[in-house]
Amino acid sequence: MSSFTLLVTSAPFTEQNAYSAYRFALASVQAKHSVNGIFFYQSGTLNGSSLQLTPSNEFDLYAAWQGLANDYNVPLMVCVSAANRRGVTTAQEALDSDTPHFSLTPPFESVGLGELAVLMKNSDRLIQF
Amino acid sequence: MSSFTLLVTSAPFTEQNAYSAYRFALASVQAKHSVNGIFFYQSGTLNGSSLQLTPSNEFDLYAAWQGLANDYNVPLMVCVSAANRRGVTTAQEALDSDTPHFSLTPPFESVGLGELAVLMKNSDRLIQF
Amino acid sequence: MILHKLTSSPFKDLSLQHCLQRLGESDGVLLTQDAVYALIHQDIREKLNALSGKVFLLEEDADARGIEANGNVEIIDYEGFVELTLKFNKVVSW
Amino acid sequence: MILHKLTSSPFKDLSLQHCLQRLGESDGVLLTQDAVYALIHQDIREKLNALSGKVFLLEEDADARGIEANGNVEIIDYEGFVELTLKFNKVVSW
Amino acid sequence: MSDSISTIAIINQSAPYGTSHGQESLDMAMAMSNFGQDVSLFFIEDGVLQLLSKQAPENIDAKTYHKTFPALEFYDIDNIYVCKQSLKSRGIKVSELCIDITLIELHELPTLLACQQHVMSF
Amino acid sequence: MSDSISTIAIINQSAPYGTSHGQESLDMAMAMSNFGQDVSLFFIEDGVLQLLSKQAPENIDAKTYHKTFPALEFYDIDNIYVCKQSLKSRGIKVSELCIDITLIELHELPTLLACQQHVMSF
């Protein structure tokens, strides 16, 4: 039993990296390792947008992330500053900036970079995608 | 007097390309050329998200695009299929997919690729960024 | 004991070349995504063959692209990928 | 009469090299964004110097990065960039 | 600058799957052709890898979009050019490709692009 | 796996401005240090270009984040390593950089990374 933190810095669909991270996370939990959290930074924060509409004949990575969180209790943490500048915002952030709409909903959570420090401190490996 | 179509395929902030496209468009209209339209495709569709919150000490490209549309009547066209899969959706598209929130608002418009064919047919140059 | 994870094609960018220039004695190289095309890049393939036992290929990514293992490359799936990151002390993603 | 617009560093990827291999007789090369670093890349700079009068540098991008024009490179600003695209028949973005 | 159709060249220089360039380039090509434009496709550098028959992207849950290439003739996209040197440097034979193509030399690209009104690249 | 601090290496291999990697890497470094982690920075390949004094990103409305590098010592980030060969191949002298750095050889990178718990790269 080992523990992982995954750092996802790439946008979904546009690049394969985010999908690879999902497959790695799934293989980890299936092998009874613990994934302390997936931390989304840079373009990776776009993975947290609930507004993504994936064509029905294509792989829905957003739904896959949700499944990982629900089935294995893997925290999905989105860096607030990287996310906000890319249009990924929570209800509260939208309220604070007088924007009527928002895109980030649970199981994704908006957090600061400090959460990544905590995750890493408690993980045997950090793997970046 | 010449006419341009700009094809923007890169995400804002993450890459410089979208900014370069804006500067090119501005220089074109200031030189009395006509920009028939800016067409956003692939990651470029993220330029159309109204949810972007740019830090106050940084250049706000979303506001700059709006200014270009308002001051010079440059159409800002976002490819619907590329946008939707990336979480850039209009009120109507959100309604159709039972999503309560959306991110694309005027002056950006959601269009099909056919609009790009029309723009190009009537332009002296297509410049991709 | 670093595992170097590559993702881009050596025909497109220089990250694999740069990684190989800085490879430590006991380091390993894992080819994923478009980096699996390293196996059809003549110069790079020769360099990788000289690193016998230290080069790994992610099966899912290679199969997707129709690329076959050759030389002394060890094939692993995602399950093996997870275990490999634990055999090395840390992972650097290029 | 094609203007080839480059955006990435030749130290990072091979797009400028690939572009130069396919350059037509009357084509031009425009260095923008990280492609302005081509001027501090020894091999590439020599190749560009051999293309006298056909190489253009976007001033704003070069100034931002602290890169100075050298050799026979013509410096243009965004206004000149717009006009340059009209002097050539078409633009290819690499 | 007329109501007549445009000639459009689409250059494919990216490998499939690592990025979405290949799939979205094909979407673009079919749409442009559907809207009556005259589309030519060029596969150079890593773009030639998109045409390999033996791909199995279902292994990474990606769309098997390469199976659409043989259907391009029904979209009236007949001009499909592939760079000979790009195949050679990757050790790929023409028989390994999933469609009939026209081989071109490195230096033929600018000549062939000269006949086109607009060029996109992915 | 303890409550003690982690040692983190951040590798900077990208040129500034063309992408957001440089700026977001610096944000990461400062945040990690603020949260008590022991951060070392490595500048290799195009990453060394971020350290040039003579930059003027206001020309392209980009943040002048390179002016923050001299302040890193106040964030307790003292280990800043720069690859000698990467400077040399770009014709850059140490005197052209905006901060004091420690020069390292190509092959020293794996040795120095060996002492670090986690590695990120931008």
Task: Give the whole-angstrom CA distance, residue F8 versus residue F77.
Answer: 11
Residue F6 near residue C90, CB atoms below 8 Å: no
User: For chain D, how many residues are written?
Assistant: 94
Local confidence pLDDT in tens for the 129 residues of chain B = 999 999 999 999 999 999 999 999 999 999 999 999 999 999 999 999 999 999 999 999 999 999 999 999 999 999 999 999 999 999 999 999 998 999 999 999 999 999 999 999 999 999 999
Q: pLDDT digits over E58-92, tens only? A: 999 999 999 999 999 999 999 999 999 999 999 99
> According to the model, what pLDDT value does residue F1 have?
42
- Indicate the SS3 state at residue A124: coil
Task: Give the whole-angstrom CA distance, residue B97 versus residue E116.
Answer: 40
- Beta-carbon contacts of residue A106 (< 8 Å; ≥ 6 apart): none
Task: Give the whole-angstrom CA distance, residue D61 versus residue D30.
Answer: 11
- Indicate the SS3 state at residue B50: coil
Task: Tell how far CA F75 is from the center of its chain.
Answer: 13
Chains that touch B (3 or more CB pairs under 8 A): A, D, E, F
Instruction: Considering the candidates A35, A78, A79, A80, report the single residue annotated as catalytic.
Output: A79
List chain E residues with pLDDT less than 70: 1-4
Among F58, F60, F122, the residue to mutate for chain B (most B Cβ within 10 A): F60
> According to the model, what pLDDT value does residue F2 have?
46
> According to the model, what pLDDT value does residue D71 have?
82
> According to the model, what pLDDT value does residue C78 have?
98
Q: pLDDT digits over A41-51, tens only? A: 999 999 999 99
> According to the model, what pLDDT value does residue E5 have?
85
Burial of A57-85, coded b for 16+ CB within 10 Å and e otherwise, reads eebbbbebbbebbeeeebbbbbbbbbbbb
> According to the model, what pLDDT value does residue F3 have?
54
Task: Give the whole-angstrom CA distance, residue C55 versus residue F24.
Answer: 31
> According to the model, what pLDDT value does residue C52 have?
82
pLDDT, mean over chain A: 97
> According to the model, what pLDDT value does residue E2 have?
46
Residue B51 near residue A99, CB atoms below 8 Å: yes
Cβ of residue A23 closer than 8 Å to a chain C Cβ: yes
> How many C-beta neighbours within 10 Å does residue C52 have?
11
Cβ of residue E6 closer than 8 Å to a chain B Cβ: yes
Q: Does residue A127 surpass a pLDDT of 50?
A: yes
Q: Give B7→chain D minimum CA distance, Å.
A: 10
Q: pLDDT digits over D5-50, tens only? A: 999 999 999 999 999 999 999 999 999 999 999 999 999 999 999 9
Chain A and chain C share a number of CB contacts under 8 A equal to 41
C-alpha separations of C88 from B126, C82, F5 in Å: 49, 11, 21
> According to the model, what pLDDT value does residue B37 have?
98
Specify the pTM: 0.97
Question: pLDDT exceeding 90 applies to what percent of chain F?
Answer: 95
Q: pLDDT digits over C54-82, tens only? A: 999 999 999 999 999 988 899 999 999 99
Q: Provide the CB-side half-sphere exposure for E89 (13 A, CA).
A: 19
Across the range D38-63, mean pLDDT stands at: 96
C-alpha separations of E80 from C31, C72, E98, E99 in Å: 31, 37, 12, 9
ipTM of model: 0.97
Nearest chain D residue to B16 by CA: give it: D33
- Residue E6 DSSP one-character state: P
Cβ of residue D92 closer than 8 Å to a chain E Cβ: yes
